[in-house]
Structure 1
Amino acid sequence: MRITSVTPMKNEAPFLLEWVAYHRLIGVNDIVVFTNDCSDGTDRMLERLDELGELRHFANPSFLIKGAKHHLTAIRYFNKLMRPSRSDWVVSFDADEFMCVNVGEGRMSDLFAAKPDANVWSLSQLNFGHGGITDYSDDLVTDQFRYCWRDGAPYHADANRRGAKTLTHKSSEPVEWHNHSPVFHEDKLRFARVHNGSGERLRHLDLRKDVKHLDYPYYGYGMVQLNHYALRSIDSYLLKVSRGNANHAQANYGLPYWRRYDRNDQYDDKILRWTDRIAEKRAEYLRDPELRDLHEAAVANAQDQIAAAKQTPEGQALMKRLTRYVTNNPGVMLDDGDHLRTAG
């Protein structure tokens, strides 16, 4: 069974090995990554992982057309490859998203066995806040950040919704893949049996267009969720700001983006069952001399970038705004005794 993921990527080198290790462990056996304008060694790390047979790495065609919408260009090119038609399952997700299976032993095969009739899974994002962590470190992202949006809470002013990515089997006969979901011809809609993350059948979606989110009460996390680490630590957020937006060159991450995602209102540790195995596989990658050198250089570069950003007037102003915001909006945390407390 070929399970293919497609991901656009830029300057994710310090976090890359964990992301690859985890998805290989749960059963994604055909990881396809497109990169553009990398300056931190991400592309070189991916090339080495490609040589080792862990994934496939391509330059994003946005290079050639000098386009700004890198995600859109990558997925359009992906549709021109033979890969989608040769794969049993296909999913598109980003480098800060981790597919967390909550049934069986947490592998993709467990999800398929638990609901064999489902051939389209709409994976709802579970957005994680910074969890009270200020400093950047080389520890596992999936182990550091454990506080997220509360299930069912309305965090958007206009609607109670969650972003979605879609895991799709070829039997549903999609026309093509988009960033969030595939699209289907009118006369093929009957083949798509869509389920949400709790395994509930969804019949109301317009599958003729990209399904970017699910509204309440249709999203769910009981069987599978998409852990979304949009912020990581406060320091790491400075790296995201400096990297810029992959689809909207004029977009400013800044405080509005932070305020949207930094909700530490619920504790979630479902992915932690993988912590030791992720660490072991990442250590296996680091035994390769080239990957080790590239990873260590990426970590050092991240630390230097953060330090430099903190010396700029813009960086200092953003740090002040972030610090003020997290102090006034701490969310909930668990202390060492597992007692719920307000974090200050």
Structure 2
Amino acid sequence: MIKNRKVTENKYFIFDNPKQNGLIYLIKFFITKIECFFYKFILLLANPVDKQKKYDVVLCAIFKNEAPYLREWIEYHLIVGVDHFYLYNNDSDDNYKEVLKPYIDEEKVTLIDFPYKHAQMKAYCDCIEKFRKSAKWIGFLDIDEFVVPIKYNSIYDFLENFNNRPSVKLYWKVFGTSGLINRDVHDLVTEDFKIAWPKYDEVGKCFYNTRFNVNVKSPKMKTLHHIFWGNWNGIDIPPVNCFDSISLRGFDHVKSSEFPIQINHYFTKSYNEYFGVKAKKGDVFYKKNHYISKSFFYRHEMLCTKEDNNIFKYIIKLKLAMH
């Protein structure tokens, strides 16, 4: 008899939602493997039309009262190869306009006012509908997430390996407070926080290949930033991960311990930034504010045991860009 037990991590990942390792788990595993073979076969046939577009890589984000962090986030992603930003303002009342004005004037940022509650998916769908013809790749990130190419120095150089894939999932490396109660918010997030989870989070964010069609109304797209289903000839196809393996139901295959790219997720920042800002603000997707829970905070913080400096190769360029 197979007994159920909670599996919280494996060799490469820490699971946000621990898995029940029992008979049902094994059945789901084998069904998923069969489906992955099917999707890989479909991708062998897929040959989407490559059209010339204005931008190679753009980012879409929805934000609320993130003014202290916007400039660093934009300047950093310009360094790693992002061409343009579609930013959805969700009822901010800080000085975000002052921060964004130079980038709007330089046509690096398109600013869209989006005064809806819990409107993350709605904003992403709006971006896909309006701007997919302008860019080859659209990434969906939050302002506390920084894409870090490791094997490459440019996001686009990495994504060019996936031109016949509908979307690519990059994994989170989750960072905590690095022991900071307070800090000057004018300092660099990317420099102040170095201590992260020793393994990757199974959760990540997706870059959408606009050569493929997409059905944003599909139930599969409920959290499209995490699991983005593209469509080819009427067939919905899940994302591949950064190793070109199908990502489905959390049974993600990893080919090497050397990840070519990651997303630094500065989940808490300092203790007072977390409880003074993030916990008060809540979430743009979930109606229930789970950030206010001390146990939720420590569940992430107590896993931060290893220094990760992959982003540091970009810090000098970032400092010079920000004067």
**1:51 equivalent among 65, 82, 105:** 105
Q: Is 2:316 aligned against 1:280?
A: no
Q: 1:28 to 1:168 in 2, by over 3 A?
A: same
Q: What is aligned with 1:68?
A: 117
Name 2:148's counterpart in structure 1: 100
**Structure 2 partner of 1:149:** 197
**In structure 2, C-alpha distance between the alignment counterparts of 1:116 and 1:247, rounded to whole Å:** 30
CA separation of 1:51 and 1:256: change in aligned 2, threshold 3 A: farther
SS of the residue 1:247 aligns to: coil
> How far off its partner does 1:257 sit?
3.0
The 1:256–1:173 alpha-carbon spacing in structure 2 relative to 1, beyond 3 Å, is same
Residue 260 of structure 2 corresponds to 223
Q: Distance in 1 between matches of 2:102 and 2:318?
A: 19
Determine helix, strand or coil for the equivalent of 1:74. Answer: helix
Q: 1:201: which partner in 2?
A: 245
| C-alpha displacement of 1:253 | 1.4
Whether contact under 8 Å (2:213, 2:232) holds in the other structure is no
Within the alignment, does 1:183 sit opposite 2:233 as a pair?
Answer: no
Give the stretch that moved more between structures: 273-282 or 234-243.
234-243
Report which of the two has the higher share of strand: 2
Structure 1 unaligned blocks of 5 or more = 153-160, 207-213, 284-344
Q: Is the 8 A contact 1:193 1:201 kept in 2?
A: no
Match of 1:259 among 298, 309, 315: 298
- List gaps (5 residues or longer) in structure 2: 1-54
Q: In the alignment, which residue of structure 2 is the partner of 1:240? A: 278
Bigger drift between 24-33 and 258-267 goes to 258-267
* Cα separation, 1, equivalents of 2:180 and 2:280: 19
C-alpha separation in 1, matches of 2:295 and 2:97: 30
Please report how far the alpha carbon of residue 216 of structure 1 lies from its aligned counterpart in structure 2 after TM superposition.
Answer: 5.6
* CA shift for structure 1 position 52: 2.7
Kindly state the Cα deviation for residue 13 of structure 1 after the two structures are TM-superposed: 1.0
Evaluate the alpha carbon distance shift between residue 72 and residue 109 of structure 1 in structure 2; reply closer, same or farther with a 3 A threshold. Answer: closer
The alignment status of 1:5 with 2:59, answered yes or no, reads: yes
Q: Is the 8 A contact 1:134 1:235 kept in 2?
A: yes
Equivalent residue for 1:24, pick from 54, 78, 82: 78
Give the TM-score normalised by the residue count of structure 1. Answer: 0.67
Deviation at 1:51, TM superposition (A): 1.8
SS of aligned partner of 2:82: coil
TM-score (norm 2): 0.71
Q: How far has the Cα of 1:113 moved from its partner?
A: 5.1
Residue 128 (str. 1) matches residue 168 (str. 2): no
| Distance change in 2, residues 1:118/1:77 (3 Å) | closer
Q: What is the deviation of 1:41?
A: 1.2
* CA–CA distance in structure 2, aligned partners of residues 76 and 56 of structure 1: 16
| SS of equivalent residue, structure 2 residue 322 | helix
Match of 2:159 among 112, 123, 146: 112
Contact 2:167 2:229 in 1 (8 A): no
Q: Which has the higher helix share?
A: 1
CA distance in 2, matches of 1:244, 1:44: 24
Aligned residues: 258
Query: How large is the Cα RMSD of the aligned pairs?
Result: 2.7
Aligned to 1:165: 205
